[in-house]
Amino acid sequence: MKPVLAKDQTALVDRLKGACGGAYTPAQRRKYFLTGPQWAAAYEGHALFHAPTRRPVGYEEVIREYAKIGIGHWTTHDTDVIPTDGLGNARQDEIVAGIAKALKENGLQCSMVTTETFHHAVWAGSPAAEAPEVREYAKWRLANTVRIGHELGASYAVYWPGSLGYFVQGAVEETETLRWYADGLNAACEADIAEAKKRGRPTLKHCLEAKPFEPQAEILLPTSDAMLAFIFSGLLKHPDMVGLNPEYLHELMWGSAVRAALARALLCGKLFHFDINDGYRLKHDVDIAVGLVNPLDWLNVLVLLRTHNYNGPFNLDYKPPRTTSNYGVFAVSFPTAVDRFITLWEMAGEVSADPVIKEASEALRAGGGGNPKDVEGIVEANRELLTLHELISHRIFQILVGQHRGRAYSV
Ligand code: GCO
Ligand code: MN
Ligand code: MN
């Protein structure tokens, strides 16, 4: 092949994307509760060892592009859109009014707001640092975000306490820090109750997001299970208002079966919000787009969520790969991520309705009819049934690759 000149490259990308087929229309995509973060689309490819590779993207462009793709909801950190020194003053009002206008013009809704409590120098000792003025400022920041959320019509607030931890042990007293962290969340819930009352709106759902490693060396609330224990610890004044925003990769990173982590959250009634992406076990937070690494695991996760009628948001919290193309972020990365999600969701419906899986599952639950007092008899009565576990797994694989619809390979 001859070199593909820069002027011909977007046409090539477009043609090959078309050749892939299987794209949903924007109207079809909008039927799903998919939410697009400002920070995901605006990610410039930077990291500790990486300089940015893409140009900055503001909220107007992100909202416009999400609308074209068919991503119906938008989410943001306070400082993704408002500079730190503009928070709480006229600059904030002006920007929030601009966002409300852009959302309206493009038919999008703001579903979630979150406070950046990890990037700025003020958080060097975490939002629950020893210095009382840091904690007071943190309370104000969380309350301010809640008010922005109400102003933009959001229903969720997310908290990723990434800097709640330490690099070296002994100086930070964990129980004290966790009490202080709870004080911040309590302040956010109280501000929410007051603001909701003033506006005649329901309060927000406050969702804690765990990540096991990064940016601190040791994390005080590293997993969704730790977050659940924290919610039920008695430290929160409004535990009913607080639940989880698990992230698929964050649970996978520490070695969990993601599906099992979600199941534990479901049992507690705390699966409020879900960050969708992909990646690898025991690596850093690579934030790859949904379904590109573990499609079979993803299919199983969605079967669980469909079965339990999860109806909260699916937040596309991933990082478009470190390319040099802003065009590709919106022309390829986001629409293909959305389409893989929808396909996997539809497949999850097929798994639940599949007659082979249904009959095998029912047979497993019926058991072999042995006498519960006769241990050898129980084994004998059930001898052949457990083989069905692997058969079900095989059938789910077949559904993933389309064999249940007659897609055949040379035999
Ligand atoms: C991560 C984190 C963040 C949070 C965000 C919302 O992947 O590093 O998940 O992206 O989701 O800060 O609070
Ligand atoms: Mn992540
Ligand atoms: Mn996340």
> What is the pLDDT, as a whole number, of residue 266?
98
Residue ranges of E strands in 30-72: 34-37
The secondary structure element, H or E, covering residue 218 is: strand 218-219
Ligand 1 pocket, residues with Cβ under 6 angstroms: 114, 158, 160, 209, 211, 247, 275, 285, 287, 317
Q: Model-level pTM?
A: 0.97
How far is the C-alpha of 161 from the C-alpha of 78, rounded, in Å?
Answer: 15
User: For 137-150, what is the mean pLDDT?
Assistant: 98
What does the domain layout of the chain look like in residue ranges?
Answer: 21-329, 355-405
Q: Which atom of ligand 1 is nearest to the CA of 245?
A: 11
The encoded tokens of residue 58 equal: 């503001």
Which amino acid belongs to residue 369? G
pLDDT band at 370 (very low <50, low <70, confident <90, very high): confident
> What is the pLDDT, as a whole number, of residue 374?
97
pLDDT of 357 strictly over 70 = yes
Residue ranges of E strands in 169-211: 205-208
Of all protein residues, whose CA lies closest to atom 10 belonging to ligand 1?
317
The encoded tokens of residue 393 equal: 């797994």
CB-side exposure of 197: number of CA atoms within 13 Å?
6
pLDDT of 372 strictly over 80 = yes
User: For 326-350, what is the mean pLDDT?
Assistant: 98
> What is the pLDDT, as a whole number, of residue 365?
98
How far is the C-alpha of 91 from the C-alpha of 94, rounded, in Å?
Answer: 5
Residue 249 near residue 294, CB atoms below 8 Å? no
> What is the pLDDT, as a whole number, of residue 188?
98
Q: Which atom of ligand 1 is nearest to the CA of 214?
A: 8
- The DSSP call for residue 202 is P
> What is the pLDDT, as a whole number, of residue 169?
95
Tell how strand 218-219 and strand 165-166 pair up.
Answer: antiparallel
Write out the residues surrounding ion ligand 3, Cβ under 5 A. 247, 275, 317
The secondary structure element, H or E, covering residue 227 is: helix 224-231
Going 45 to 51 to 54 to 56, the CA torsion angle's sign is positive
User: For 390-402, what is the mean pLDDT?
Assistant: 98
Pocket test for ligand 1, best of 117, 160, 248, 283 (most atoms within 8 A of CB): 160
pLDDT of 84 strictly over 90 = yes
Furthest-apart CA atoms within the chain: distance in Å? 77
How far is the C-alpha of 397 from the C-alpha of 403, rounded, in Å?
Answer: 9
User: Which tens digit of pLDDT belongs to each residue from 36-58?
Assistant: 999 999 999 999 899 999 999 99
CA dihedral of residues 186, 159, 301, 402 (deg, nearest 10): 150
Task: Identify the nearest ligand to the CA of 279 by its number.
Answer: 2
How far is the C-alpha of 178 from the C-alpha of 158, rounded, in Å?
Answer: 17
User: Which tens digit of pLDDT belongs to each residue from 260-309?
Assistant: 999 999 999 999 999 999 999 999 999 999 999 999 999 999 999 999 99
Instruction: Determine the distance separating the centroid of ligand 3 and the alpha carbon of 80, expressed in angstroms.
Output: 14
Task: Identify the nearest ligand to the CA of 278 by its number.
Answer: 2
| CATH number listed for the domain at residues 21-329 | 3.20.20.150
DSSP letters spanning 307-337 = HTT--S-EE------S-S-HHHIIIIIHHHH
Task: Identify the nearest ligand to the CA of 285 by its number.
Answer: 2
Instruction: Determine the distance separating the centroid of ligand 1 and the alpha carbon of 158, expressed in angstroms.
Output: 9
> What is the pLDDT, as a whole number, of residue 411?
67
Task: Identify the nearest ligand to the CA of 43 by its number.
Answer: 1
pLDDT of 332 strictly over 80 = yes
User: For 343-360, what is the mean pLDDT?
Assistant: 98
- Angle, CA 279 vertex, CA 275 and CA 285 arms, to 5°: 75
Instruction: Determine the distance separating the centroid of ligand 3 and the alpha carbon of 8, expressed in angstroms.
Output: 36
How far is the C-alpha of 15 from the C-alpha of 21, rounded, in Å?
Answer: 10
Pocket test for ligand 1, best of 118, 275, 318 (most atoms within 8 A of CB): 275
Query: Cis before residue 215, ω within 30 degrees of 0?
Result: yes
SS3 275: strand
Q: Which atom of ligand 1 is nearest to the CA of 115?
A: 13
